Structure formats: structure tokens, C-alpha cells
Amino acid sequence: MAQGTVKWFNAEKGFGFIAQADGGPDVFV
């Protein structure tokens, strides 16, 4: 399973991006 840090998250709209710990592309959540 990939791991990372929340880059930003908009709780009002319910989405954001996670920066992967291994330097891969950001993940949309």
C-alpha cells in the first residue's frame, strides 16, 4: 500500500491530494 502526506484537502468539497512518500505522482482523493 502506498504511503504519503496530505498535500491539501478541502473538507467542504470532500477531495484533495496526497504527495506520495516515494516521490511518485500526487494521488487524488
User: What is residue 2's predicted lDDT score, i.e. its pLDDT?
Assistant: 82
Q: Which residue type is seen at 9?
A: F
* CATH code of the domain in which 15 resides: 2.40.50.140
How many residues are present in the chain?
Answer: 29
Strand partners, 18: 6, 27
The 15-20 sheet, strands edge to edge: 4-10, 15-20, 27-28
1-29 pLDDT tens trace: 889 999 999 999 999 999 999 999 999 99
13 Cα distance to chain centroid:
15
The CA distances from residue 11 to 8, 14, 22, 24, in Å, are 10, 5, 25, 24
User: What is residue 29's predicted lDDT score, i.e. its pLDDT?
Assistant: 94
User: What is residue 3's predicted lDDT score, i.e. its pLDDT?
Assistant: 94
User: What is residue 1's predicted lDDT score, i.e. its pLDDT?
Assistant: 82
Q: Specify the number of domains making up the chain.
A: 1
User: What is residue 9's predicted lDDT score, i.e. its pLDDT?
Assistant: 98
Give the residue numbers spanning the domain of 5: 1-29
